[in-house]
Structure 1
Amino acid sequence: MQRAVSFSLATILLACLFFALVFVNNTALNSVRLDLTENQVYSLSDGSKAVIDELQEPINLYFFFSDSATKGMTGLRNYASRVESLLEEYANYADGKIRLHVIDPVPFSEYEDQATQYGLTGAAIGQLGEAVYFGLAGTNAVDDQQVISFFDPQKESFLEYDLSQLIYQLTDSSAVQVTLLTDLNTVGGQNPMTGQFDPEMVFYNQLGQLFELTTISSQDTEVPLDTDVLIIVHPQGLNESLQASIEQYGLNGGRMLVFADPHYESDPMALMGGVGANPSDLPLLASWGIDLDFSQIVLDANLGLEVRTPQGGIARHFGILGFDTEVIDAGDVVTANLDSINAASIGSIELSENAQLELVPLLTTSANSQLHETATYAMTQDPQEHARNFAAEDKEHVVAARITGVSGTDLAKLNILLVADADLLADRFWVQQSNFFGQTIFTPFANNGDLLINAVENLAGSDALISVRSRGTFSRPFERVEALEVAAEAKFRAQEERLQQQLADTEAQLAQLQSQQGDGGALVVTEEQQAAIDEFIEQRIAIRKELRDVRFQLDRDIDKLGNWLKFVNVAAAPVLLALLLYFLAAILRAGSARRSIRKVVG
């Protein structure tokens, strides 16, 4: 009786302890979390924490998700759960500076009207076709507003960057001041070579629409003091005062986007041919520890685009390259989701031997490439000549990179995005011009303009925001399941192929017997032939049954693993808890028994 009472008491005490721990975890320890995921997808990076630390006043984040309208949409709901969990991490770390509001905008409610007012996108994918909202709106103390209209699961790896960028924009809502340093004719006008009117370059028009743009040339003496991002395009003949100003700007942590080219072949004089190389000139790169040899360009047999030859034919040009998703870095926010970049006569970027810099490639060539003298390339008009003299060096070359770190003895911090080509900004490499009822329309056929705008937007953020990179995705492939599938297929595929061949032979012989006909089209079949037909039909049935058994066996190992995973996820934890309670109860009983013995002995 006493043992029963002791066991019951121990069980009650353990249950009370369990509920007490749950209560403490959900209250006092709510902000304490342990992220055991491979890429730490539920934790904030140091860059995001630094963005939050810069908050001077509280901000409000309104997370809209149509919970009631997405029943059964497991994938979308799982991603929404991850977004909400990460937003809670932001709110917990901000310690009151971020106020998170989770809202379900049910149809015809005031919350749906609120989501519409913020400009969120309602996708018609819900039950009965109602709109599904899955976005974020943020406001600050002066009613500035930033939104993520819809969380795209395809951009899951950049979720943290998008959230941190929205928060940063709420802390600093001033217009981005962009300074463009170039001597190119970006504003258009009459072309002295053709006499025709050239329109404004599309990239220049885009910069003017999206940012506060100031243009300076090589004749100016300094970089404007309020510059957030300095864009340098094909620099030539910079005076000493301007070079010193650029150097000071860079060494003081200024953000620079540089397009430096071994041969800018889009220049009107270069297009005519026979004028030699037209390289950029920026000695500061070498002084900072960046090696961009303007005397050589990169030829690539794999990435070369087809062009028209002087003879009127079509040939692949090893110097005019089309970069695709195979060589564009999808892990950097600047180049993520870009499909194609076209460029010409590009250079190769490396770091000097003793440079204290970090180089992160954004665009690379294939290994089927070769360095070629710029001067010889510029004087060669026939692309087939490059192909005839091509000899692959089996080396990939970096042609666009993010370069950060310290330079010189003063350990000044650099933040540069360098592209070893300026031709990619020329209209002919990425937009097509057409006339629509008297209006000139430019239609992009490559992502050159997107690369430029992405780079400026990224560099315009804080250093903390720039440091937030791709963090990986929440969902991971079932590697063990895939391995089992491969093993099962290897084990049963030969058997399946043998049975398929037997089935094909059987059906062929059966068709041959059934096609035997006498005169007048009447079917004439002997008893022996009918017996053979019946036997083949039975054999076909048996083979098909055996094939079904084989295909069942292909899935059996997968099902076993699935059942085991279900047991571990669902049953293992309760079983372990029950065993723990049992052992604790046994320990309590043993202790009680020892105390009873001492009393008796005493």
Structure 2
Amino acid sequence: MSRISAIASLTLLAFLFVGLVIVNNQLFGQFRVDLTENQVYSLSEGSKAVLKEIDEPVTLHFFFSDTTSKGMTSLRNYADRVKSLLKEFAQTANGKIVLKVIDPEPFSEAEDQANRFGLTAASVGAIGESVYLGLAGTNAFDDQFIIGFFDPQKEQFLEYEIAKLIYQLSDPEPVKIALITDLPVSGGQNPMTGEYTDSMVFFEQLSQLYNVELLSGSTTTIPDNTDVVMLAHAKNISSGLSYAIDQFAMNNGRVVAFVDPHYESDPVAMMGALEPNRSSMELLSSWGVKLSDNIILDAKLGLDIRAPSGGIVMHPGILGFTAEQLDRKEVTTANLELINGASVGALSLTEGTELTLQPLLSTSENAVEIEALSYLQQPSPDDLQRQMGETFASYIVAAKVTGKANSAFTEAPSALEQTHVSNTNALKLVVVADADILADRYWVQQSHFFGQPVYTPFANNGDFITNLVENMAGSNALISIRSRGSFVRPFTTVNDLELIAERRFREQEERLQQQLQQTEEKLAQLQTQQEQTGAVVISEEQQNAIDEFVQQRVEIRKKLREVRYELERDIDALGNFLKFINIAAAPVVLVCLLYLAARMLRRRAGKHWVEDEL
């Protein structure tokens, strides 16, 4: 009877468990708790704001080769991470995002669909099977954007890439840039040689990606529907255009400014200028951003150039900023490796400002400031090196500037009939204290192919410019999304065990290795002597020595294997303990708790039955 009662209790518990799972999935599936340190499974406020801006439903096609990727554990884990985040986007969008998960098996219609979208197929395995891990998005207007392949190396920007794609689908209008510059960006005649030059490569790049409209300094208005105002070494800006830029910024417009204490890529400046070729800074200064009049020299980042004498010399004023000088947590600079510039300046904020400066590009700790006139008067790199002295510091060369800023004007010009905005609480500004970054000679090499110019980049200047514009052209929410943490956490306990084990056994291993080396050397010496003497028959003493050394080698190798086993034993023990906890202990505890609950329920039921009988 008791056995039947136990079976009935277990059966009831099984049905109860299944019922609770169904209820949980149906009623509580939308409720989640993210206990990770960096909240990597939750959407940031910026992503949630992007989802709120969706007007028409969008469809996301997530392609992952689940069948082909069998055995690729790390890739499959990352694919699960991507799919989980996509589900979080779809769930938070409240029906405005339709997520389709597709397995593009070889030679299937799904694979043809992935190819039509233009997704990247990675070839793996001995026979080169194609693996897809990409995303294609479409909207009601047949616009289409893709992420060709989710690179696990860029996991920290996974949320940003997905949010950017969704934003592009919800706001498919082309980005419009108003470019204000005194540079010959569209080409023209070189005043020194009289030759005609091609358009600057950065300008060609931006024109291919966006709708770029060139504005002269005498213009008084900014075109309607402008997304980004870009200042590129603008020197002579009319008062009317200054006011238009100011009000554009005060009304939450985005501004990217390349300003320079001395733009030395100008042909006249290259021939030996008498005064610095400085960009206009009045407008930025009035907002609270300060560009030093001095030029930065850096003993560590200086590039090698050919001296007039024909030799190679380091120029401390022509700098190559490497990954160490870039903000690796910022989407605009995280994947860049080299940015070249010349005669760069230093950025800072004026006293009393309420702005915030987020550095994107900085010098090394081996940098100094010198006056711009001194820089011009010392064209020799050796002379510049001698002026550096021994007091060094690090300087900010490019930065995002946000926060509260006041207008540079107290009122609108009398000729304009418009409402004057006196301040903003959310200035969106990027300042780069160098305009030579834009010059072709610092980042592209020109060659000709069948009479057509071909440009090959040797630095990431073009990527840096494009990334800045792309990021600033997005929504306010998209701009606010920065890098997130990784969902792959380091095994700190395992690392600690490895360090302890290495300290404990490394000395013994080294001693055994030394003994093994000595033994093998003696054995080789005996064998060499035998070959040199040409003896066919060796003495018993020699044979015993050889046998002894061979036996020593065997024993030493055995001890080495034991030592290396000791190195991994503690780690294996930890792994086995964790496996026991996950596989055996947790279910055992759960069964015990259920058994105790069943006994309590049965005892209570028996007690009620006795009371009823009495």
TM-score (normalised: structure 2):
0.93
Structure 1 runs of 4+ off > 4 angstroms?
3-10, 517-520, 592-600
What aligned pairs does 1:5-84 form with structure 2 within 5 A after superposition?
A: 8=7, 10-84=9-83
Of 277, 289, 301, 1:303 maps to 301
Q: 1:569 offset after TM fit, Å?
A: 2.6
Alpha-carbon contact 1:64-1:134 (below 8 Å) kept: yes
**1:594 Cα offset (Å):** 5.0
Q: Partners in 1 of 2:332 and 2:163 — Cα distance?
A: 15
Q: Which runs of 5+ in 1 are unaligned?
A: none
CA distance in 2, matches of 1:68, 1:347: 55
Which is further off, 159-168 or 104-113? 104-113
Show the counterpart of 2:159: 160
- In structure 2, give the amino acid aligned to 1:587: M
SS of the residue aligned with 2:517?
A: helix
C-alpha contact 1:406 1:413 (8 A) present in aligned 2: yes
Deviation at 1:126, TM superposition (A): 5.8
Deviation at 1:166, TM superposition (A): 1.0
Q: 1:378 aligns with which of 376, 379, 397?
A: 376
Kindly tell me: are residues 520 and 108 of structure 1, through their superposed partners in 2, closer, same or farther at Cα, counting changes over 3 Å?
Answer: closer
What is the aligned counterpart of 2:332 among 334, 340, 347? 334
How far 1:595 moved relative to its partner?
4.4
Evaluate the alpha carbon distance shift between residue 523 and residue 517 of structure 1 in structure 2; reply closer, same or farther with a 3 A threshold: farther
Distance 1:290 1:542 in 2: 72
Alignment of 1:242-281 (within 5 A): 242-281=241-280
Aligned-partner residue type, residue 385 of structure 1:
D
Is the Cα contact below 8 Å between 2:250 and 2:423 reproduced in 1? no
Please say if 1:549 is aligned against 2:548: no
SS of the residue 1:577 aligns to: helix
Structure 1, 255-264 or 193-202: larger mean CA deviation: 193-202
Aligned equivalents of 1:147, 1:411: Cα separation in 2? 35
Query: How far apart in 2 are the matches of 1:357 and 1:76?
Result: 42
User: How far did residue 514 of structure 1 move?
Assistant: 3.4
- 1:456-471 alignment runs, 5 A limit: 456-471=469-484
**CA shift for structure 1 position 469:** 1.3
Paired AA for residue 461 in structure 2: N
8 Å CA contact 1:431–1:446 kept in 2: the answer is yes
User: In the alignment, is the contact (CA less than 8 A) between 2:56 and 2:96 conserved in 1?
Assistant: yes
Deviates more, 1:175-184 or 1:218-227: 218-227
Query: Take 1:70 and 1:127, find their aligned partners in 2: how far apart are those partners?
Result: 13
Deviations 1:169-211 (A, max 9, x none): 1111111111100011112222121222222111111111111
Query: Is the partner of 1:400 in helix, strand or coil?
Result: strand
Q: Distance in 2 between matches of 1:343 and 1:116?
A: 40
For each residue in 1:513-557, what CA deviation from the matched residue of structure 2 results, as whole angstroms up to 9, or x when unmatched? 333359962256443333232222211111111111111111111
* Identical amino acids, percent of aligned pairs: 54
Larger CA deviation: 443-452 vs 408-417: 408-417
Corresponding residue SS for 1:68: coil
Cα RMSD over matched residues?
Answer: 2.1
Alignment correspondent of 1:567? 580
Report the 3-state secondary structure (helix = DSSP H, G, I; strand = E; otherwise coil) of the residue aligned with 2:548: helix
Q: Letter of the aligned partner of 1:327 in structure 2?
A: Q
CA deviation after TM superposition for structure 1 residue 560, in Å = 1.2
Judged with a 3 Å threshold, the aligned counterparts in structure 2 of structure 1 residues 29 and 13 are, in CA distance, closer, same or farther, namely same
Taking the aligned partners of 2:109 and 2:533, their CA distance within structure 1 comes to 82
Judged with a 3 Å threshold, the aligned counterparts in structure 2 of structure 1 residues 173 and 306 are, in CA distance, closer, same or farther, namely: same
CA positional deviation for 1:341: 0.2
SS of 2:124's equivalent? coil
CA distance in 2, matches of 1:122, 1:428: 36
- Structure 2: 5+ residue stretches without partners: 407-421
> Contact between 1:276 and 1:375, CA under 8 Å: does it hold in 2?
yes
Compute the displacement of 1:307 (Å): 1.1
- The verdict on how the C-alpha distance between 1:594 and 1:255 changes in structure 2, with shifts beyond 3 A counting, is same
- Measure the CA separation in 1 of the matches of 2:252 and 2:43: 24
SS of aligned partner of 1:326: helix
Deviations 1:475-494 (A, max 9, x none): 22222222222221111110
The one-letter amino acid paired with 1:469 is R
One of 343, 356, 359 as aligned partner of 1:358: 356
CA distance in 1, matches of 2:274, 2:386: 23
- Specify whether residues 289 and 274 from structure 1 end up closer, same or farther in structure 2 by C-alpha distance, changes over 3 A only: closer
TM-score by length of 1: 0.95
Q: Would you say 1:496 and 2:509 are equivalent positions?
A: yes
- Distance in 2 between residues matched to 1:550 and 1:85, nearest whole Å: 43
Deviations 1:225-273 (A, max 9, x none): 2211111011212222211111111111111111011111111111011
**8 A contact 2:252–2:424 mirrored in 1:** no
With over 3 angstroms needed to count, the CA separation of the structure-2 counterparts of 1:267 and 1:447, relative to structure 1, is same
- Give 1:535's match in structure 2, choosing from 530, 548, 561: 548
The answer to whether structure 1 residue 441 and structure 2 residue 439 are counterparts is: no
Where does 1:385-464 land on structure 2 (aligned, <5 Å)?
Answer: 385-408=383-406, 410-464=423-477
Contact 1:357–1:406 (CA under 8 A) maintained in structure 2: yes
Residue identity in the other structure for 2:548: E
**Once the two structures are superposed, what CA deviation does each residue of 1:56-98 show, in whole Å capped at 9, x if it has no partner?**
1211111111111111111111111111111111111111111
The aligned amino acid for 1:424 is I
Matches within 5 A, 1:106-121: 106-121=105-120
Closer, same or farther in 2 for the Cα pair 1:274/1:142, shift >3 Å? closer
SS of match in other structure, 1:540 = helix
Verify the 8 A CA contact 1:274 1:379 in the aligned structure 2.
Answer: no
Aligned in 2, Cα 1:207/1:484: closer, same or farther, shift over 3 Å? same
Q: Deviation digits for residues 314-367 of structure 1, max 9, x if unmatched?
A: 111111110111111221111121111001111111223322222221111111
Q: What is the aligned residue count?
A: 599
8 Å CA contact retained: 2:281, 2:291: no
What amino acid does structure 2 have at the position aligned with 1:425? Answer: L
Deviations 1:439-483 (A, max 9, x none): 211111000001111111111111011111111222222222222
2: CA distance, partners of 1:131 / 1:215: 45
Whichever residue aligns with residue 267 of structure 2, its letter is P
Residue 193 (structure 2) aligns with: 194
Is 1:583 aligned with 2:583?
Answer: no
Q: What is residue 417 of structure 2 aligned with on the other side? A: none
What secondary structure does 2:323 align onto?
coil
Deviations 1:403-425 (A, max 9, x none): 11121374442101111100010
- CA distance 1:412–1:76, shift in 2 (3 Å): same
Query: Structure 1 residues 520 and 97, CA, compared in 2 at 3 Å: closer, same or farther?
Result: closer
C-alpha deviation, 1:160, in angstroms: 1.0
Q: Structure 1 residues 508 and 123 mapped into 2: Cα distance closer, same or farther (>3 Å)? A: closer
Please give the alpha-carbon distance, in whole angstroms, between the structure 1 residues aligned to 2:126 and 2:60: 27
Structure 1's 586 and 529: CA in aligned 2 closer, same or farther, altered over 3 A?
same
